[in-house]
Amino acid sequence: MASLEQNLAAVRERIAAAARAAGREPDEVRLLAVSKTWPAEDVRALAALGQVDFGENRAQELIGKAGELADVPLRWHFIGQLQRNKAAAVARVGAVVHSVDRLPLAQALSRAGEGSGTPVEVLLQVDLGGPEGELGARGGAYPAGLPALADAVAELPGVRLRGLMAVAPRGAAPAPAFARLADLAARVRADHPEAVELSAGMSGDLEDAVAAGATIVRVGTALFGDRPLPSGEIGHHQPHESHQ
């Protein structure tokens, strides 16, 4: 608990300092604690310290933790690649979905939102690296197709388009990528003024993201420490490790 408290204070101070350096107010940036692979007890402990927003990247883990922590006032976020057949279950948890990168997924979430009577808040994930014209290996729609995707998603009755999400490309300086993301976000907001959220920045590059206008930073390692590898994954690539 003491370690979590120290880590939380340090991350909040990093966010506040980055915001001030960018001429922004610290409360303009929300901390999303990425709790994937960590037990529900750690989420409960961090929530007791005042943390409200938590992110998961596997539907089964999100659903399990949400059920275990139903007595705690949390706001859940889904940040991994989501299969359409899991969309309804994630929507029932009330999670904000950061990783919408194709229209069929948005349509599945919209059906779930209509069915429950509560629209699902979604962000469009943008791939900031690689060639144009197809989905990126790390997930995300390429920038060329983003305006059309935003228009289509905004028309769906069971979702609410809230903004964009992205991960900085591997092996490249994050600041230029986040600057491109900020430009894309401004273009989307021009047509969809409600799309005010920009989910970007992680443990290693949150300062660059805040400087570029991020409203949500996704932090896991700097809060919880190095996560344990699930059995069977040692030595293998973890596809969603970079979302925090």
pLDDT by residue (tens digit) across 97-115? 999 999 999 999 999 999 9
What element of type H or E holds 243? none
Tell whether the model's pLDDT for residue 205 goes beyond 60. yes
pLDDT of residue 130: 54
Higher pLDDT, 229 or 112: 112
Residue 126, strand partner residues: 141, 166
> Tens digit of pLDDT for each residue in 9-59?
999 999 999 999 999 999 999 999 999 999 999 999 999 999 999 999 999
- For the chain, the domains span 2-222
CATH class of 2-222: alpha beta
Question: What's the pTM?
Answer: 0.89
Whole-angstrom distance, CA of residue 224 vs CA of residue 212: 25
Specify the long-range contacts of residues 13-21, CB closer than 8 Å, at least 24 apart.
14/206, 14/207, 14/222, 15/206, 15/210, 15/217, 17/207, 18/206, 18/207, 18/210, 18/211, 19/210, 21/207, 21/211
CB 11 within 8 A of CB 228: no
Mean pLDDT, the chain, rounded, equals 90
pLDDT of residue 129: 78
Whole-angstrom distance, CA of residue 168 vs CA of residue 244: 11
